[in-house]
Structure 1
Amino acid sequence: MALPDFLVIGVPKAGTTALHAALARHPALFLPTVKEPKFFLSAGPPPARGGPGDAQTYQEHVWRRGDYEALFDPAPEGALRGEATPFYLYDLDAQNRIRRLLPKARLVVLLRNPVDRAHSNWTHLWAAGLEPERDFVRACALEERRRAAGWADFWHYVSLGRYGEQLAHLFGLFSRDQVLLLRYRDLRDSPAETLDRVCAFLGVETGLVDLVPAQNVTPFVADTPVNGVLRAVLRTGGRVGHHFPVPVRRAVRSPLLGALQRQRGGRPTLTPEQRRAVLPYFVDDIARLQELTGLPYDDWLTVGLEPETID
């Protein structure tokens, strides 16, 4: 069977794409070109509906086991196989499926200040033209309504950042020596040392990869009348695009997205008022995370927005 030896399981907008790209350069590791296959997110075909753009994303899931194993067939003999799907930590059913199929897997988790993670998540969907709510705080408040309507996990700005709940479940399934906890800021600020920690954890030679390429950095998108029209068109495409072949979708979407992201400039920053409004969602979970791991995360209660260099 061609199944992975390790997984990067969390969290979205915390450097998992960049980590995937960096580890893929290690000669003793193999990661498929398909990043985020999402195999463990469903026990069969994924849902067909959801929020804007969700149906197209569901079509990208590698949910058949044969297709999933085929991703790892090209791995050189002796190489450790791995993949990165940052929603596995959040989805407790996915954790259970991983435990059943890969009980000895090593699991890498990147954690990020949950307020900054949520804001980066919202900014990503805003820049893609899919997020209809222009106010970040309001978008967080809409989460329960969106969950009830079946919107996909990436819209769960608050719940995705409640790491204490997610890790408590994970530690009930896997021994702690199978789990490596990292912080987004470490990958950003000390890439060589952080990559060495990952390689040592996986049991491969250290010192062979030391650069983390900038990946998936969200562009600046101004809130202008013209962009409002473009975003409305993109959201409409997000709702109906799954009825069309992928080449057709891309041919229509690419110029619209290019026009939306045509401007250059600073990304919208998280204001102190927005932080004060959103932080209470996470205070109790940060305390739980510290108690669970024995590691300090109280800086998340005060630190400002982290510079956006990698995702």
Structure 2
Amino acid sequence: MSNFLSKIKHVILKRHVYGWSSPLRVLPDLIVIGVVRSGTTSLYHYLSQHPSIIKSAYDELGYFDSNYQLGLNWYKSFFPSVFEKKKVIQKNGKFITYDVTPFYIYHEEAPKRIHKLLPNSKLIVILRNPIDRCYSNYFLTDQKETFEDIIIKEKKILNQINKYNVQEYYEFVHTSMLGRSLYAEQLENWYKLFSKDQILIIKSEEFATKTNKIMNEIFDFLELEHFDIPDNSKKNKIHYETMKKETRDNLIEFFRPYNEKLYSLMGKNFDWEN
């Protein structure tokens, strides 16, 4: 069944069976908080291939950002029941369920809300070369302007709001192509509440080329046995023309200080310029 049809099915059922059974449903142990256009859709499908992991009804639930007002019972309706948890534990020894919503990382309130409800949860972030993430994001939108024109415009906006309005800055980070690629600024909010042991940061490029290796690193992080997933086909993949060299060179210069800040924060270098 397609992800779209799964969502329609759940919208219908959650008002009845799922909604009534929310008190008997579990909350996630793992939350994938970001980032958009980095491979989170693939990760959503890969994780549930492990025998100890059961996925939510669908990905991008958005409870801790855009759907928070719908309430905890609404959120719990997307997850397995306590009976399914018991069954998986009896069969495989451990049980994990998860929420994959890559927009959480951009939202100012999301880390506070998650920490309040799930202070011991584990978090995963997939980070892609910010230049490639921006460019991929561009081709998902119905833009009338060129990629280069949008970048010029967003650079000007970023310079202005950095000086005057903190709230406008958060809105910029949440909605703009450049803003969504300023990873250090986003991660700082999470490190204020969660320890580094609770957050696993994955390099998107390695996730794409060494999928089973990275998946087993994730299983280590979750304290699960290694498992080679049988289906590691890429999900939600799009094809587009090559970026102009001049544009890439300009963006390398723009992102350099932001990336250096990120490497310092993480304690490792993703070497995106090479």
Amino acid at match of 1:83: D
CA apart distance, 1:116 = 0.6
CA apart distance, 1:114 = 0.3
* Structure with greater proportional helix content: 2
2:138 & 2:266 partners in 1: Cα distance? Answer: 28
Q: Unpaired segments of 5 or more residues in structure 2?
A: 1-24, 90-94, 159-166
The equivalent residue for 1:36 is: 60
Indicate how the Cα distance of structure 1 residues 280 and 90 shifts in structure 2: closer, same or farther if over 3 A, else same: farther
Is residue 139 of structure 1 aligned with residue 147 of structure 2? no
Report how many residues are paired. Answer: 230
Residue pair 2:54, 2:97 contacting (<8 A) in 1 also: yes
Moved over 6 A (4+): 150-154
Q: What aligned pairs does 1:44-193 form with structure 2 within 5 A after superposition? A: 44-45=68-69, 63-74=70-81, 75-77=84-86, 78=89, 79-125=95-141, 130-133=142-145, 135-143=146-154, 144=157, 155-193=175-213
2:174 & 2:107 partners in 1: Cα distance? Answer: 11
Amino acid at match of 2:101: T
Q: Unpaired segments of 5 or more residues in structure 1?
A: 46-62, 220-266, 304-311
Amino acid at match of 1:64: G
Bigger relative CO (Cα 8 Å, ≥ 6 apart): 1
Residue pair 2:173, 2:182 contacting (<8 A) in 1 also: no
Output one character per residue of 1:41-97: Cα deviation in whole Å (capped at 9) or x when no partner: 14745xxxxxxxxxxxxxxxxx43212101013453242110111111222311111
Amino acid at match of 2:149: R
Q: Alignment identity in percent? A: 29
User: Which of 232, 247, 254 is equivalent to 1:274?
Assistant: 247
If the length of structure 2 is used for normalisation, what is the TM-score? 0.77
* RMSD of aligned alpha carbons: 2.3
Q: What aligned pairs does 1:192-203 form with structure 2 within 5 A after superposition? A: 192-203=212-223
CA apart distance, 1:131 = 2.2
Amino acid at match of 1:68: Y
Indicate how the Cα distance of structure 1 residues 153 and 274 shifts in structure 2: closer, same or farther if over 3 A, else same: same
Indicate how the Cα distance of structure 1 residues 43 and 218 shifts in structure 2: closer, same or farther if over 3 A, else same: closer
CA apart distance, 1:208 = 4.1
